[in-house]
Amino acid sequence: QVQLQESGPGLVKPSGTLSLTCAVSGGSISSSNWWSWVRQPPGKGLEWIGEIYHSGSTNYNPSLKSRVTISVDKSKNQFSLKLSSVTAADTAVYYCAKLTAPKVYWGQGTLVTVSS
Amino acid sequence: SYELTQPPSVSVSPGQTARITCSGDALPKKYAYWYQQKSGQAPVLVIYEDSKRPSGIPERFSGSSSGTMATLTISGAQVEDEADYYCYSTDSSGWRFGGGTKLTVL
């Protein structure tokens, strides 16, 4: 059973960079899967941010592409998200996930607030 | 940019059939996936590849797709099915979630 756990600061200042890491356990990040980040602003819907393959190939949401970097660290079995130039609109619960069906796994989510 | 359009809300009485639609231009060529999200919880996949049901999902959940519309059907909806439902699909520019549909069962 694959388990995902997000970690990172819960508070980021406006114009700063949001950085989160997702630790993968119970399976190898080098398996044939794409690893994704999804966010959900309070009271709103889900937004796909992007995904990475263990080779380092990435796909990003066009609306966020200029500010997003997703990377993978195979030695630590984890992948990471960086979102630059954040504003209050980036306040959300951030989830890491393996969305390749039918075995889909989500982290519990972590709330990141953008505020000074 | 590519959009998946869902009705904001659907309401049924217990035991009735609930149908939630998702409209998108790429759906004739791309699969639709459906997620259920209850308050304060991570989403759960209930339908994948238009009509397949993951293990552990009740048989009352089914999916179909025709043309530019995918449909999630809950036959004999239960009170515990009350949740937000999101369709999920892709086009050449990446993956997308629909705006979500709040299902009320009462």
pLDDT at residue B1 tops 80:
no
Name chain A contacts of B93, Cβ cutoff 8 Å.
Answer: 62
pLDDT tens-place string over residues B11-33: 999 999 999 999 999 999 999 99
For residue A33, pLDDT over 90 is answered with no
E-strand stretches of A1-116: 3-7, 11-12, 18-25, 34-40, 47-53, 58-60, 68-73, 78-83, 92-98, 105-106, 110-114
Query: Cis omega (within 30 of 0) on the bond before A102?
Result: yes
Give CA–CA dist A85/B89, Å, rounded: 28
Contacts of B94 in chain A (CB under 8 A): 48, 50, 59-62
Q: What is the pLDDT of residues B43-97, one digit of tens each?
A: 999 999 999 999 999 999 999 999 999 999 999 999 999 999 999 999 888 899 9
Interface touch A45/B99, C-beta < 8 Å: yes
> Is A11 near chain B, with CB under 8 Å?
no
Of B42, B48, B93, the CB nearest to A101: B48
Answer yes or no: do A46 and B100 touch at CB < 8 A. yes
B80 close to B24: Cβ distance less than 8 angstroms:
no
Residue B79 pLDDT: 97
Best mutation target among B90, B93, B102 (most A Cβ atoms within 10 Å) is B93
Q: Which amino acid is at B94?
A: G
Q: What share of chain A is helix, strand, coil (3-state, %, to 5)?
A: 5, 50, 45
Residue with tokens 């050449």: B92
Interatomic CA distance for residues B52 and A103, integer angstroms: 12
Partner A contacted by B92 (CB < 8 A): no
Task: State whether B88 and A99 contact (CB < 8 Å).
Answer: yes
Tell me which chain A residues have a C-beta less than 8 angstroms from the C-beta of B95: 36, 48, 51, 59, 61, 99
Instruction: Supply B101's token pair.
Output: 């549909």
* pLDDT of A14 above 90: yes
CA distance B88 to chain A (A): 9
Element (H, E) at A3: strand A3-7
Query: What mean pLDDT value characterizes chain A?
Result: 96
Using the CB atoms, write b or e for B51-74: b if 16+ within 10 Å. Answer: bebeeebeeebbbebeeebbbbbb
